[in-house]
Amino acid sequence: MLMAGFAALSLVACNKKEDASSRVQETTSTTTETTTTASSANGATETATSNNVQTGFPKIAFNETTHDFGDVKKGSKSEVEFEIRNEGTVDLVIIDAKASCGCTVPEKPQDPIKPGSSAKMKVVFSANSPGLQSKNVTLTTNTEAGSEVLTVKANVKE
């Protein structure tokens, strides 16, 4: 039995597949609690296990999906905090946040967002080029859609 446990652990440890699509496909999370008691009559050990299973997808909502900084001066930095709410019944996980260009830097929440709770995600925009700018931040999530897009806009002036 010990060998079977070691083999299973080895397979899991070697299979560190971190692509987003496999993590988004995980729609069920299980929490297992194990209690062990010994029987004094014959020395046998009994193990009782209970499972708490969450199924389905979280539902994501935002205070806004597009933020317009308006006119900003070239060389300046502007930041906004998007509020992310979980309106579903299971934990919401922001797996990744990627900007469409290096001038935009998102800081995703590190912890899962519990049902009914919210978290802030800061996005910093560096005004490097003059003119109208529109940059996207793509969130990879464990929602049914698997991804969400937020947009920041600015009119960069010399």
Q: Is the per-residue pLDDT at 26 higher than 80? A: no
Residues 65-74: what's their mean pLDDT? 97
Residues 45-53: what's their mean pLDDT? 47
**How many Cα atoms within 13 Å fall on the side-chain side of residue 67?**
20
% of the chain beyond a pLDDT of 90 = 64
Q: Is the per-residue pLDDT at 154 higher than 80? A: yes
What pLDDT shows up at residue 56? 82
What pLDDT shows up at residue 19? 45
Residues 53-57: what's their mean pLDDT? 69
Q: Is the per-residue pLDDT at 15 higher than 80? A: no
Task: Write the single-letter amino acid at 75.
Answer: G
| Ramachandran quadrant class, 54 (left: phi over 0; alpha: psi -120 to 50; beta: rest) | beta
Looking at per-residue confidence, does 32 or 73 come out higher?
Answer: 73
Q: Is the per-residue pLDDT at 25 higher than 50? A: no
Residue 83 confidence class, pLDDT cut points 50, 70, 90? very high
Looking at per-residue confidence, does 20 or 103 come out higher?
Answer: 103
Q: Within a 10 A sphere around the Cβ of 96, how many other Cβ atoms?
A: 14
Mean pLDDT of the chain: 78
Are 66 and 150 in contact by the 8 Å Cβ rule? The answer is: yes
